Structure 1
């Protein structure tokens, strides 16, 4: 009876060790495969697998070295491509950096090909790089970079890459590509300069076109204005000639009325001449014997008065 506690402790220890050696737990974010004498089972073990014998993720196995368990995290992983140049269909270089989210869905296939996740990830990156370059090589440079939005086909190119990579990854790697896209699109220095030069020439052609259209429109407007001005001037000249002819006719009528009063006509003409000469407040020093300034001469005024009285 003295050894009872020791026996109980030994039994408990053996039970704990036996449970440790003969059981394993699979979390909801994991998938596992059993290996019997080094050979992996094709049937994966998941916590939502109804055919697996488990209790809250607890599964049974034979102790090592008979059986062992390999677990893989099934949560999404991010894989980013390296920055590198790739040729387009029209032999131009472009830098396309991609990203992908993936997860292991067939642990048996993944494990039989790659012992570690890191080696499988490197192989997947290499495969994505190869397929990416193949898709880029089927498209012209304008499908990636263009001044016209209608020429760019980035979404179609992303879909082509996604379809090719997803099918390849499922078949050869046992992984699912959940998302794929172009992270960065850039141009090499020499291509960038060539693109800028092309864009500059394109804009210069547009500018020349707009300038020529503006010059043509300006010429048209100027010609129309000159034509309108010519019509207006012709109309004004005709009206002025008509007014002048009417004025001359009226002057002729007036002169006819003064034919019998020659001295009065001369007197009025002299007054009109004086008015025109002095209309700007001019100061003039002349001899009063000179017409029409002889009107200020006293003898002339008397002579004019006598002549008027005689008439």
Structure 2
């Protein structure tokens, strides 16, 4: 039995494999996918010819066409430490440093690649340059208060202190140079309207340049930070320090005044209490003295001669005790009473009295 010859020889098999590989390469070069987070542009010999904004699987001519992929998500641009607008003058003569941000996206990938080519070039040429330019043009035409405030609302922040209510009467109150921290400035535009103006101008000017659609849309733009330049900041700190020192003097003066008021009120109260106590004491003492006099007079009126006799006996007892010697005239009241006394009879015998008793 003879062996069967293979269907394809080695040369034919190798050729088939080569053709299959070329077909696979051609197929892979002809297909490309676009996901939901990106857009794509088909470029032929450096010129964009087709833009893809919807996700899916697409065909292209192999070898002579290439696909450039761009993000369809929002792009965020922010000025860095060395990229912010420095020494930006305002209309009222103050210089500030402004840090800004912008949110943008690609709306037309075909026009974007045709005019801007790459995301980096678009951010440098359009977003970075034009955002800073528009902010500079608008901010330099308004006062600083317009940039940092939006309404005439009275400011409530004051570094944790507030001048006493009677500070206006003190000579050491805040000076005109150190104006009150809560001072209200008349705001005609305000920060919100200024930002809206910048955003509108960017949307109108950045969407087209030299009459060609750039495929870029500015979604939002804003000012993230405002700082005084060093010279203005030092002067501002010095003014705030002077103002706070004036507040401290005002508090100290108000405290001393309040202390004196409390001491005066306390002294007046003490004097009032002492005066009332002394008056009440005199009234009570007078009432007691009057009562004693009334009772004494009533006693004299009731006892009559007996009271006089009792007082005379007390006088004799006091005057004649001990070795006292009295020199009296014959018409002395004291001697007259002694002369009126009858001589005492003999004293009864105590023994006899006892014997006679039954």
Q: What is the distance in 2 between the residues matched to 1:171 and 1:148?
A: 44
How is 1:39-50 mapped onto 2 (pairs within 5 angstroms)? 39-41=47-49, 44-48=51-55
Q: TM-score, normalization: structure 1?
A: 0.62
In structure 2, relative to structure 1, the CA distance for the partners of 1:232 and 1:263 (3 Å cut) is farther
In structure 2, relative to structure 1, the CA distance for the partners of 1:101 and 1:111 (3 Å cut) is same
Q: What is the distance in 2 between the residues matched to 1:265 and 1:298?
A: 14
Identify the match of residue 73 of structure 2 among 68, 72, 75: 75
Q: What is the distance in 2 between the residues matched to 1:180 and 1:203?
A: 37
Q: What is the distance in 2 between the residues matched to 1:116 and 1:159?
A: 28
Give 1:175's aligned residue. 216
Give 2:144's aligned residue. 140
CA displacement at 1:221 relative to structure 2: 4.2
Identify the match of residue 8 of structure 1 among 4, 16, 24: 16
Q: What is the distance in 1 between the residues matched to 2:38 and 2:206?
A: 20
Give 1:61's aligned residue. 61
What is the aligned-residue RMSD (CA, Å)?
A: 4.6
Give 1:53's aligned residue. none
Q: What is the distance in 2 between the residues matched to 1:240 and 1:103?
A: 95
Q: Which segments of 5 or more consecutive residues in structure 1 lack a partner in the other structure?
A: 49-55, 269-293
In structure 2, relative to structure 1, the CA distance for the partners of 1:132 and 1:265 (3 Å cut) is farther
Residues 95-140 of structure 1 show CA distances to partners (whole Å, capped at 9, x for unaligned) of 3323334332222332232233222221221222222333433341
Give 1:271's aligned residue. none
Aligned length: 270
Q: What is the distance in 1 between the residues matched to 2:137 and 2:102?
A: 17
Q: Does the CA-based 8 Å contact 1:158-1:181 persist in structure 2? A: yes
Q: What is the distance in 1 between the residues matched to 2:241 and 2:316?
A: 82
Residues 59-113 of structure 1 show CA distances to partners (whole Å, capped at 9, x for unaligned) of 223652xx55433232343322133423333222333323334332222332232
Looking at secondary structure, tell me which structure has more helix per residue.
1
Q: SS of the residue aligned with 2:52? A: coil
Rg (Cα) greater in structure: 2
Give 1:89's aligned residue. 91
Q: What is the distance in 1 between the residues matched to 2:237 and 2:146?
A: 14
Q: SS of the residue aligned with 2:36? A: coil
Which stretch of the first structure deviates more once superposed, 152-161 or 9-18?
A: 152-161
Q: Does the CA-based 8 Å contact 1:79-1:99 persist in structure 2? A: yes
Identify the match of residue 243 of structure 2 among 202, 216, 223: 202
Q: Which segments of 5 or more consecutive residues in structure 2 lack a partner in the other structure?
A: 1-7, 158-181, 301-306, 327-333, 342-358
Q: What is the distance in 2 between the residues matched to 1:112 and 1:161?
A: 26
User: Which has the higher relative contact order, 1 or 2, with Cα contacts under 8 A spaced 6 or more apart?
Assistant: 2
CA displacement at 1:39 relative to structure 2: 4.0
Q: Does the CA-based 8 Å contact 2:107-2:216 persist in structure 1? A: yes
